[in-house]
Structure 1
């Protein structure tokens, strides 16, 4: 799949300005009501909101909100129940810097890396470029075997990024089951698991819960990956709106690759 021409690498300030304009950070599209309802579902044990992690009953709503204010930048005031919510742009860029350090180490080590997304019309655009850059740097890209199925769909890979496909369409999914099936298939075939997973949603949660070094992206209404990072199950969770139009992520991707010391793929 050909890549669009790479933009110039932005400065930290110009990236921050872009992220806010694009509503990747700052005043994001996800409402406060939606955020709070998802935090409540996680606390009440709804596994659809655990994203493949085992969170038990260790967290209450106040603790989740406090964590999300600290690590994502949502409004900290528990009395703020309706309307606009936020992602702190400095936390987004700080997360990208920490993710870049992990990617740099993977490139130095020639690691086996699995890249996957539950957002094929959003952050897939970032994953695609990152996968190509890591391959160019000497990493081995781990892709799903053929004829793997989960959640009524087939697991495929596009530009070395694992995705879920159903009925001729790529699927938005929070489920951990596709990643579980990919990793189980590697074990059945006697192949080593990835050294690093770069993903989102349940793809990231299950990999981290499996003990694999995992970095990922999460929106302000997906608290599980932030909880996983706080508990040490994930290495890095980058807060951002994970489903804006794909081209809007291009400056962020350029910044991420530069911070990791990786070249833009041709």
Structure 2
């Protein structure tokens, strides 16, 4: 399959609802923005936001700017959107950081709290960086977090419970990895590529972090706005078919100068 052009990727994102009119409804988005503003740490995704984001409208303004949701506070229900142009622009910024990692043969840690959607995108990116000479960080064995086991699938850290890869927003699994590496005296990552609380935790601890986030997960966009995260890519993080992310990953790797 040829590498999609920017215009072709935008069309693909809209057609597959990775961006454009996404499945997440407006009321769900606003509910999550409100809970973040009210101090519910589940929605902070491992970041420490203090009292800087206590106004729901400030959260909405960031999400409109960086994700493309409607900025109309009176739009309370029905459809909401992710701007595909913002998605591609963030992919370009992510590609620039991956290119830097490849040039410096950096140590890179991958992790996902959305294995049903983003696992293969992370895995392919890890494989491409490994081929370019980067070290993909191997996590310590035997890690336990949130009543599950933390291990790697294709170089990507995930949480497993009951023989099932777990969808989690928790920062605790990433904390277990970083604490385990430090305890073992293993080299820490130069870059973390992740999502959900895995990304928030790493960024809060001061690691260069890039990640993906949905329109109802505002914390990582706030983290980018504050400079805690380097890049947050807006997208629907669990569409109907994970293969829909393949053209997006092709575009990303090609833009980064990595093998597709």
- Confirm or deny a common fold (TM above 0.5): yes
Does residue 254 in structure 1 map to residue 250 in structure 2? yes
Measured in 2, the distance between the counterparts of 1:246 and 1:101 equals: 24
- Aligned counterpart in structure 1 of residue 231 of structure 2, from 236, 239, 264: 236
- Residues 196-225 of structure 1, C-alpha deviation per residue, up to 9 Å, x if partnerless? 000000000000000000000000000000
- Residues 1-59 of structure 1, C-alpha deviation per residue, up to 9 Å, x if partnerless? xxxxxx32100001000000000000000000000000001000100000000011111
Q: How many residues in Structure 1 have an aligned counterpart in Structure 2? A: 258
**What residue number does 2:216 align with?**
221
Measured in 2, the distance between the counterparts of 1:232 and 1:52 equals: 15
Does residue 170 in structure 1 map to residue 165 in structure 2? yes
Measured in 2, the distance between the counterparts of 1:58 and 1:143 equals: 36
Query: Runs ≥4 in structure 1, deviation > 3 angstroms?
Result: none
**What residue number does 2:29 align with?**
35
**What residue number does 1:109 align with?**
104
**What residue number does 2:52 align with?**
58
SS in 2 for 1:199: strand
**What pairs with 1:193-208 in structure 2 (closer than 5 Å)?**
193-208=188-203
Instruction: Quote the offset at 1:233 in angstroms.
Output: 0.4
SS in 2 for 1:217: strand
- Residues 120-163 of structure 1, C-alpha deviation per residue, up to 9 Å, x if partnerless? 11011210100000000000001221100100000010000000
Measured in 1, the distance between the counterparts of 2:142 and 2:101 equals: 28
What root-mean-square deviation, in Å, do the aligned CA atoms of Structure 1 and Structure 2 show?
0.6
- Aligned counterpart in structure 1 of residue 118 of structure 2, from 111, 116, 123: 123
Measured in 1, the distance between the counterparts of 2:161 and 2:237 equals: 21
- Residues 60-112 of structure 1, C-alpha deviation per residue, up to 9 Å, x if partnerless? 11110011000000001000000000000000000000000000000000000
Instruction: Extract unaligned runs of 5+ from structure 2.
Output: none
Measured in 1, the distance between the counterparts of 2:242 and 2:123 equals: 11
Does residue 78 in structure 1 map to residue 73 in structure 2? yes
TM value normalised by structure 2:
0.98
SS in 2 for 1:123: helix
- Aligned counterpart in structure 1 of residue 174 of structure 2, from 167, 175, 179: 179
SS in 2 for 1:29: coil
Measured in 1, the distance between the counterparts of 2:225 and 2:181 equals: 28
Measured in 1, the distance between the counterparts of 2:3 and 2:203 equals: 30
